[in-house]
Copies of this chain bind each other. A is one copy, B any other.
Amino acid sequence: MDKKYTIKDIAQMAGVSKGTVDRVLHNRGKVSPAALEKINEVLNVIDYEPNLIARNLKSTKIYRICVLLPDPVFDPYWLPCVSGIQDAITEFKAYNVVIEIHYFNPESTKSFLKTNETIITQSPDAVLLTPLFHKETIEIIKQYDDLGIMVNTFNNQVESSSIKSFVGQDLYKSGRVAASLMNLILPKGQIAIIHIDESLKNAVHMQEKERGFRSYFEEKNLSNFSLTTLKLKYSNIETKLPAFINENPDLSGIFITTSKAYQIASTLSNVTEKKIALIGYDLIDKNVSFLNQGLVHFLIHQNQKRQAYLGVSTLADHFIFRKDIPETILLPIDIINVENASFYIS
């Protein structure tokens, strides 16, 4: 019953040749009704699963997947993605799948567009990208779609019917998780929601997290808390943050919506002795260092490595094994404190 049937087996059972069975299996036509019926009868009885190894061995087609990634040189946030994609490269090297990373400067739309052009000249079978620049991404995706190049996204969500799949996290919910932890650390007081970003490219990202964060406090009617939003840039943290702390003596917690918690922690430790609860995102080295020092209380792990890995591996599995590509994959919102951090760092 567990026996694995081959096309040859089916041919023998149906009393035809393997060529005819092949034509039936692939709907290639040129089969008489009589033969079709005989073969279908056999197929209904047995459970035929084509041998994927044999199929793959024969196919000489090489699948090309390009990954469009912000250069980690500009932001270490993207470093784990490289490692995730390298895992995929190793895994699928044996099959006829070539995966290439193309970097762009996350601060420059021009760089983004230029790298996309390079990719288009390569005419890959699929592209995985992070839609950092909303308007430009929509344009680009349309181009890919016209060329018949499949597009998957990760990290940032963008609405487009041309996108095959999205891998990421539920940002609203992750804001709620942060809020629930903050509520555990603090009995009351003022909480600042700090967005740090040079440009506005992460705007939606950050807003969703804030929305989730606020929704928790509103829903629970926690009136002994007051929430304030603060927008900062890398360049003005050192001046604006101390000023904000002076103006808000009741401040007892800060939720940082990006991976830049370390910048807040660092500035904070120079400015005040006061114990302020910090919750941020991502296990980048500097954040973990402050976590270990006790200056950051919790980090939410967005698992970019796995996001990137899943982004390409679903594509590769689709090409090699004809697996379906799930429309959305939402990764769990991992809660990290000093005690369990080491297990998430790879």
Q: Are B340 and A173 in contact (CB under 8 A)?
A: yes
Q: Are B332 and A94 in contact (CB under 8 A)?
A: no
Contact of A340 among B177, B184, B337 (CB under 8 A): B177
Q: Are A343 and B332 in contact (CB under 8 A)?
A: yes
Q: Are B177 and A337 in contact (CB under 8 A)?
A: yes
Copies in the complex: 2
Contacts of A95 in B (CB 8 A): 53
- State the Cβ distance, A66 to closest chain B Cβ, in Å: 14
In the bound complex, what is the Cα–Cα distance between A335 and B333 (angstroms)? 10
Q: Are B337 and A337 in contact (CB under 8 A)?
A: no
- For A138-176 the 0/1 string (1 means CB < 8 A from B) is 000000000000000000000000000000001001001
Cβ of A273 within 8 Å of any chain B Cβ, yes or no, is no
Q: Are A334 and B337 in contact (CB under 8 A)?
A: no
- State the Cβ distance, A231 to closest chain B Cβ, in Å: 25
Q: Are A180 and B332 in contact (CB under 8 A)?
A: no
Cβ of A275 within 8 Å of any chain B Cβ, yes or no, is no
In the bound complex, what is the Cα–Cα distance between A177 and B344 (angstroms)? 14
Contacts of A216 in B (CB 8 A): 339
- For A324-346 the 0/1 string (1 means CB < 8 A from B) is 00000011111111111001100
**Number of A residues contacting the other chain (C-beta, 8 Å)?**
36
Residue of B whose beta carbon sits closest to that of A100: B2
Residue of B whose beta carbon sits closest to that of A187: B187
Cβ of A34 within 8 Å of any chain B Cβ, yes or no, is no
Cβ of A45 within 8 Å of any chain B Cβ, yes or no, is no
Cβ of A247 within 8 Å of any chain B Cβ, yes or no, is no
Cβ of A272 within 8 Å of any chain B Cβ, yes or no, is no
Contact of A333 among B52, B321, B340 (CB under 8 A): B340
Contacts of A333 in B (CB 8 A): 339-340, 343
In the bound complex, what is the Cα–Cα distance between A184 and B334 (angstroms)? 17
Q: Are B338 and A53 in contact (CB under 8 A)?
A: no
Q: Are B335 and A337 in contact (CB under 8 A)?
A: yes
For window 258-309 of A, CB contacts with B under 8 Å fall at: none
In the bound complex, what is the Cα–Cα distance between A57 and B56 (angstroms)? 10
Cβ of A51 within 8 Å of any chain B Cβ, yes or no, is yes
- State the Cβ distance, A266 to closest chain B Cβ, in Å: 23
Q: Are B176 and A98 in contact (CB under 8 A)?
A: no
Cβ of A185 within 8 Å of any chain B Cβ, yes or no, is yes
Cβ of A93 within 8 Å of any chain B Cβ, yes or no, is yes
Contacts of A56 in B (CB 8 A): 53
- State the Cβ distance, A184 to closest chain B Cβ, in Å: 5
* Interface positions of A (Cβ within 8 A of B): 2, 49, 51-54, 56-57, 93-95, 98, 170, 173, 176-177, 179-181, 184-185, 216, 321, 330-340, 343-344
Name 4 extra pairs, CB < 8 A, besides A52-B94, A173-B343, A334-B335: A51-B57, A54-B57, A94-B321, A332-B343
**What 7 A-B pairs come out closest when comparing CB atoms?**
A332-B343, A335-B335, A333-B340, A177-B339, A52-B94, A180-B339, A53-B57
A-B contact pairs, 5 of them (CB 8 A): A53-B53, A181-B337, A332-B344, A334-B335, A335-B337
